[in-house]
């Protein structure tokens, strides 16, 4: 008899991606067959439509499979997704990384189940993602995600420490701390510990934890401890991804963001002055309601001033139920033009920074010949005679390579 294995279709953010990997492992390890889990996204209207398209597609191609839907889009509009063909049930976002959501077992649903168990991480032995925060207490005018993820909840520091110990013992060399609103970590815990103070404490407790990354940081929440770590802690990798959204103060105010362009400039300047190898990334929304040419150009200027080498660009998409959906909208064709311009700007910055790497030796956490990452978060592909050798033993190791050229968004390097 041919086994009909299960699969996961993922849409959306980096957190969704890491959760999808956990779901895949749950299905595989427990030999759960004939299930398709669709992990939906609600960040834009296009993401919702894409989620619906994928569900309808698998309903046609796999009519005898159980379709299970989870993620923010199905959380926000459960009835709409339950009514799609062959959808058996919706799994609550809080419990989608738990076995009891896919197999009948005895389990008590409480806050701790919002966080994946360490045993369900990928077995790649390179980089582990550790979710330490869930939900969001802020209400940016464009964002529907708090309605899909709920209020902010933090994993207690003692439990984080236990999980770090297990992850290191499993053979991982690097951990990426992630969450929906990562820098709000600790607001619900006794004493309200901040992200920076928690990281300083855990890095001291776990000297064998050699490499740490943060998924995304709110500029408004970078305190002295977190600033210190980015400036002086070598185990915190030299790449900072900021939840920027706009580089114009008026638009930021209308978005109900809590930072200013001046704060972002100051953060990048201070860190770069002490740690020149630091690189920066950002999320940017283009065509937010009322955004004029001056507002847009301020965003372009900030991207250039801070040398953002990794820019995630989102054309604004009005979400029903959010204040921004009721504001005066920007013409769709103008949004397209601005997206092209900002993409061209970010690619130019990336290309110029990559050219400076040519001829230099860099360290990478080796994942595969096709793609690994430098400490400062550039993609690397290995070429040359040595790269053709069996590199399986090197997976998960930090190796030194020499950059010989660049190709599109990737550095080409030799061992």
Nearest Cα to Cα of residue 233 among 201, 200, 206:
200
Residue 16, SS3? helix
The enclosing H or E element of 337 equals: helix 332-355
Do 350 and 389 lie in one domain? The reply is no
Residue 109 belongs to some domain of the structure: no
Cα 194 from Cα 311, distance rounded (Å)? 26
Do 233 and 276 lie in one domain? The reply is no
Residue 365 belongs to some domain of the structure: yes
Residue 285 belongs to some domain of the structure: yes
Cα 215 from Cα 145, distance rounded (Å)? 17
Residue 59 belongs to some domain of the structure: yes
CATH number at residue 162: 3.30.750.210
Using a pLDDT cut of 90, give the percent of the chain over it: 73
- DSSP for 39-56 reads EE--SSHHHHHHHHHHHH
Question: For the chain, how many structural domains are there in total?
Answer: 4
User: What pLDDT is stored for residue 2 in this prediction?
Assistant: 46
Do 136 and 201 lie in one domain? The reply is yes
Does residue 124 contact residue 22 with C-beta atoms inside 8 Å? Answer: no
Residue 283 belongs to some domain of the structure: yes
Cα 62 from Cα 102, distance rounded (Å)? 18
Do 220 and 141 lie in one domain? The reply is yes
Q: Which domain holds residue 371?
A: 361-414
Q: What is the DSSP letter of 394?
A: G
Cα distances from 410 to residues 224, 278, 306, 361, in angstroms, run: 34, 18, 21, 15
CATH number at residue 322: 3.30.750.200
Q: Name the pLDDT band for 17 (thresholds 50, 70, 90).
A: confident
Q: Name the pLDDT band for 304 (thresholds 50, 70, 90).
A: very high
Nearest Cα to Cα of residue 285 among 262, 234, 239, 319:
319
Residue 254 belongs to some domain of the structure: no
Q: Name the pLDDT band for 46 (thresholds 50, 70, 90).
A: confident
Residue 2 belongs to some domain of the structure: no
Do 160 and 135 lie in one domain? The reply is yes
Q: Which range, of 61-65, 126-130, 188-192, 369-373, averages the lowest pLDDT? A: 126-130
Do 86 and 147 lie in one domain? The reply is no
Asked if the model's pLDDT at residue 297 lies above 80, the reply is yes
The tens digit of pLDDT for each residue in 175-229 reads 999 999 999 999 999 999 999 999 999 999 999 999 999 999 999 999 999 999 9
Asked if the model's pLDDT at residue 108 lies above 60, the reply is no
Do 407 and 390 lie in one domain? The reply is yes
Do 184 and 226 lie in one domain? The reply is yes
Do 82 and 148 lie in one domain? The reply is no
Cα 3 from Cα 32, distance rounded (Å)? 10
Do 227 and 314 lie in one domain? The reply is no
CATH number at residue 89: 3.40.50.12160
Do 370 and 346 lie in one domain? The reply is no
Cα distances from 52 to residues 34, 38, 340, 366, in angstroms, run: 20, 9, 27, 36
Do 277 and 224 lie in one domain? The reply is no
Residue 262 belongs to some domain of the structure: no
């Amino acid at each position: 008899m041919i086994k009909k294995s299960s699969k996961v279709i993922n849409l959306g953010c980096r957190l969704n991606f890491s959760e999808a990997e956990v779901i895949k492992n749950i299905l595989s390890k427990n030999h759960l067959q004939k299930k398709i889990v669709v992990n939906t996204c609600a960040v834009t209207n296009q993401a919702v439509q894409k989620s619906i398209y994928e569900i309808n597609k698998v309903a046609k191609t796999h009519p005898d499979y159980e379709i299970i839907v989870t993620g923010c889009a199905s959380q926000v509009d459960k009835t709409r997704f339950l009514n799609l063909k062959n959808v058996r049930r919706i799994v609550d976002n809080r419990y989608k990384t738990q076995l009891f959501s896919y197999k009948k077992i005895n389990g008590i649903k409480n806050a701790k189940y919002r966080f994946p168990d360490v045993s369900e991480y990928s077995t790649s032995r390179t980089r582990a993602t550790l979710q330490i925060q869930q939900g969001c207490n802020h209400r940016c005018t464009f964002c529907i995600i708090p309605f899909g993820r709920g209020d902010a909840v933090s994993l207690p520091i003692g439990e984080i420490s236990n999980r770090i110990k297990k992850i290191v013992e499993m053979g991982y060399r690097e951990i990426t701390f992630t969450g929906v609103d990562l820098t709000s970590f600790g607001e619900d815990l006794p004493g309200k510990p901040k992200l920076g103070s928690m990281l300083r404490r855990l890095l001291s407790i776990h000297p064998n934890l050699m490499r740490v990354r943060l998924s995304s940081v709110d500029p408004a929440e970078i305190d002295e401890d977190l600033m210190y770590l980015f400036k002086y802690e070598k185990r915190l990798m030299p790449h900072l991804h900021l939840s920027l959204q706009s580089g114009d103060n008026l638009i930021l105010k209308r978005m109900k963001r809590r930072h200013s362009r001046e704060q972002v400039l100051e953060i990048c300047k201070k860190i770069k002055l002490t740690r020149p190898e630091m690189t920066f990334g950002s999320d940017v929304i283009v065509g937010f309601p009322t955004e004029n040419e001056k507002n847009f150009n301020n965003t372009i200027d900030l991207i250039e001033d801070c040398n953002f080498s990794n820019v995630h660009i989102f054309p604004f998409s009005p979400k029903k139920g959010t204040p921004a959906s009721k504001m005066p909208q920007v013409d769709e064709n103008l949004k397209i033009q601005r997206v092209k311009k900002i993409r061209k700007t970010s690619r130019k910055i990336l290309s110029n920074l990559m050219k400076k790497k040519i001829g230099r030796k860099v360290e990478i956490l080796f994942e595969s010949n096709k793609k690994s990452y430098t400490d400062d978060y550039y993609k690397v592909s290995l070429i040359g005679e040595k790269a053709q050798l069996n590199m399986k033993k090197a997976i998960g190791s930090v190796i030194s390579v020499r950059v010989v050229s660049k190709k599109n968004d990737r550095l080409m390097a030799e061992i």
